[in-house]
Structure 1
């Protein structure tokens, strides 16, 4: 982290484009956090039916009413307020989703690169218990909640069923493992093909286009912010996992890592103390690149009204308003410009950090 701070400080002094991108992102994040205290005249979903499709910077509004500085949409909703609240929605979805997806990808990729196919030994009893627990979770955590939702069950019942399935599967694994260990065959340990399993899992998931997978999952999952976040996490971890695996394979061949291995350090210490500091820098760069992709995908889903609730304030939903009135150019130009600037700022930030890291190698 100290090295990243030094890199950012050096880029701030030498790269004007990096400075502008960072200033824009910090300003946008500060505005999104300070929204409850900003003196906005209109709320994001507040209707003003007397001022529908009002163009930006309209000065003909009555003096006793607050102006819509950036215009309104087909229901009279203020564009400025929706732009600001749309930024909060974008970061509320993209930041936690990308953080969780990066954590999952970093963990699985680093383990696959470190252990390979012959270095991690697990008891056959644990593997058998995990298989039964996985099948149990697939039934009670996926099939049964989907069946309940199709029959009109509440979202609370849907969520509680999923949580109960996770707890029941874990308890089942913990209970069955010591029982299986009593059997002579299951008591032995076998190499667990960590790398091969991860690669096959990534191949299966990436063989299905991300948007198609989201469409299928969104058809059986209620359109909420939590459901959308879970769907995005399940589709965004693969890129980080592949990067972490490749970096781990490279680090494993470095002299300092081979020296630490020859000294007899445990695999846990090798991973946490020696490999993780070198893995964090490229993963953080991938995090910012993935953040830009998530912003675009979230806006696309909101534009298509897929997997998101209709009352969610989003830049994509604002752009979708052009379909009812093609003359309302500001419904595309203003949120589209803000979205493009945000993605460009994230890409610029990532580019300069990545270039600096490559020059240091």
Structure 2
């Protein structure tokens, strides 16, 4: 975290474009979080059928009604309110997805880069128990929450399901490990090719287009925020994993890391104390680039009306309103400009952080 703060502090002082992009992203995030307390005249789904397709800054307002400063759509919904609530939807999807995907990619990539194909030794009993435990983990951790979301389950039920998935998986690993160790052949340790497994998993994952998976999900299950979040998390981790693996292989050859290995430090300490702090900068770059990609993907899915629940306000769904009236240019221009500025700010932020890391090397 100190390295990240140092990067942000130096770039803030030396790069006006970085400063401007960070201010814009901070302002947009604060507005999205503070929506319940903002003095908005209209809600995102409030209908004003007397003023449909009102242009921005239009002065056709009744004396007893507030103005629609950025216009309205075909149902009289306020564009300003929808822009702000659309930002909250975009960040509610993209931030958790990218955070979880970055965490998964960081851990898998760092472990693959550290252990390679020969350094990770584990007993065959533990490996078999670990593979079998993936069955209840997948069922109670992925399939069951998706089904619960279709029936409108509350947060407590999702938390209990997650705890059940983790608890059953750990219990199954412990019980099966004790049982399988009764067989002498399963007590022997063998090298787990962590690097090779990760590369093959990434190849399989990236060989299936993400949009195809989303279309399949939309065909077999109602569009929910949880289902889309899980699917995107399971497909967005590969880029971070590749980057973390490459950086870990570079860090592994540095003198300070070789000295730490020679002192006999445990793999956990090597990862958490010596490797992860140096990986946070590149992961931050991958995080911001991935966040920009997720924002564009969410808007695309909303525009196509797939994968995202129709009760969520979205920039993409606002842009889709132009289909009913091509003269309503503000339905494309305003959300399109906000989306473009957000993506540009994220790309600018990533560029300056990446430039700093390259100059540092």
Same fold flag (TM > 0.5): yes
Instruction: Go from structure 1 to structure 2 and tell me whether the alpha carbon gap of 1:159 and 1:220 turns closer, same or farther (over 3 Å shift).
Output: farther
- In structure 1, the residue corresponding to 2:57 is in which secondary structure? coil
1:229 paired residue number: 229
User: Shift in Å at residue 141 of structure 1?
Assistant: 6.3
Gaps of 5+ in 1: none
2:350 paired residue number: 350
Gaps of 5+ in 2: none
Residues 11-47 of structure 1 show CA distances to partners (whole Å, capped at 9, x for unaligned) of: 2232221121111111111111221111101000111
What is the number of equivalent residue pairs in this alignment?
358
Paired residues for 1:52-71 under 5 Å? 52-71=52-71
1:154 paired residue number: 151
Matched, 1:322 2:330: no
2:197 paired residue number: 197
C-alpha distance in 2 between matches for 1:145 and 1:224: 11
User: Shift in Å at residue 7 of structure 1?
Assistant: 2.7
- In structure 1, the residue corresponding to 2:39 is in which secondary structure? coil
2:94 paired residue number: 94
Residues 150-175 of structure 1 show CA distances to partners (whole Å, capped at 9, x for unaligned) of: xx973549969964555444432222
Counterpart contact for 2:150–2:224, Cα < 8 Å: no
Instruction: Go from structure 1 to structure 2 and tell me whether the alpha carbon gap of 1:153 and 1:87 turns closer, same or farther (over 3 Å shift).
Output: closer
C-alpha distance in 2 between matches for 1:303 and 1:261: 52
User: Shift in Å at residue 331 of structure 1?
Assistant: 0.6
Residues 167-222 of structure 1 show CA distances to partners (whole Å, capped at 9, x for unaligned) of: 44443222211111111111211111111111110000001111112222333333
- In structure 2, the residue corresponding to 1:288 is in which secondary structure? helix
Residues 55-112 of structure 1 show CA distances to partners (whole Å, capped at 9, x for unaligned) of: 1111022121111111111111100000011111111111111111100000000000
C-alpha distance in 2 between matches for 1:356 and 1:165: 42
Q: Which moved more, 1:136-145 or 1:190-199?
A: 136-145
TM-score, structure 1 as length reference: 0.92
Residues 225-249 of structure 1 show CA distances to partners (whole Å, capped at 9, x for unaligned) of: 1221111111110000000000000
Paired residues for 1:1-361 under 5 Å? 1-137=1-137, 154-156=151-153, 163=162, 164=164, 167-361=167-361
C-alpha distance in 2 between matches for 1:127 and 1:211: 33
Counterpart contact for 1:155–1:222, Cα < 8 Å: no
Instruction: Go from structure 1 to structure 2 and tell me whether the alpha carbon gap of 1:36 and 1:159 turns closer, same or farther (over 3 Å shift).
Output: closer
TM-score, structure 2 as length reference: 0.92
User: Shift in Å at residue 278 of structure 1?
Assistant: 0.8
C-alpha distance in 1 between matches for 2:58 and 2:278: 54
- In structure 2, the residue corresponding to 1:122 is in which secondary structure? strand
Q: Which moved more, 1:208-217 or 1:69-78?
A: 208-217
Counterpart contact for 2:21–2:345, Cα < 8 Å: yes
